[in-house]
Structure 1
């Protein structure tokens, strides 16, 4: 049996600290590490608080990776610091430092985990916003092609769907909206776990085919039982 700690979209918040510091196994962050939310919304981190939080997160990841596996996925709020497209609450004041810090996390676009201890292995596909077959087909991509995408240039990753104010029918794995994901054909063969579509939610949306966990709290995946539950100390 394997249990994985999943930390959804951080956005400069510190809710990751207690669970991560009290966890010994694999940790997966779903992206969106820095966000000067407080410049626009009351009671959210401002650019100073968010940057401090990002520095602490980077230090934690660097230290933890010496003894256990930590996966950091790339979100839309992270991608913008590399190619400048799709700015939303962008930190113009600290962009160089933010880019360097996020780079040090070695962020991935997706992560696959398979529990092979079971008679019928449970297979999981993690990303920031969910991956659909429609988006891959539209861009003539295979999942493995995402490993070689240059995030410093415009690419299929910058497919922002209509629902997010963009001009694309299909959203990428960092921009796809939950509602779009539910209407399209998910990438086959995996249970998908992602964030991105907060919308003020205080509870996750967990179905038999996917889990959207962006609700400002960490979760634990039990790969033997295929259950996802809120983290508790």
Structure 2
């Protein structure tokens, strides 16, 4: 997935993955650190920890949303953390917070303004995409494969035009073509037309999509909303599970 944010810091905050902290060397742990290490091992018994020591992050940590993504800030040490917080039961609290934030922003999406691809009676997904994003192209191949297997979806498509320089022009070309769905598939399959279609309605739709992207805080492609859940990037396993869950169920509108 393409993202505008860069990883600035990592910390002991990630309890669901192996912990990397400042090497404590041969210095003995303080009583508080030794107690913390003991609690860590007792709480997360399914993990093996090779090292334990002080992290560079100091003071309280606060949660924020940036670009649709949950981040954490430690003002005392001026650290920004891109991490996932898990509770002792293995629940990803960061993912839950991100999903809740996405649901709050659903009001920014106008379904009537989407480029609709797929049959009306199929499970619906909201998709933010970029014609020049290789992961979006891989997602397109995935949808085509699933449709051929008898598992189609109806996609409400919005174009992200702020990442690649030709994305807006290609999106307008798709929208201004006689058959936008067919041209969408062609462009995402690697077609390179010698000239790109232009039209006022297509340009207006690209501009509206850009405003929707801004309001939603979408910063990478592809980004999907599936049953109200935010999926960042082409996460094939999650999409397979979604399609499987819909196989014997009626289709709710997201």
Is the TM value for this pair above 0.5?
no
Q: Say which one has the larger Rg.
A: 2
**Which structure carries more helix by proportion?**
2
Give the TM-score normalised by the residue count of structure 2.
Answer: 0.25
Give the TM-score normalised by the residue count of structure 1.
Answer: 0.27
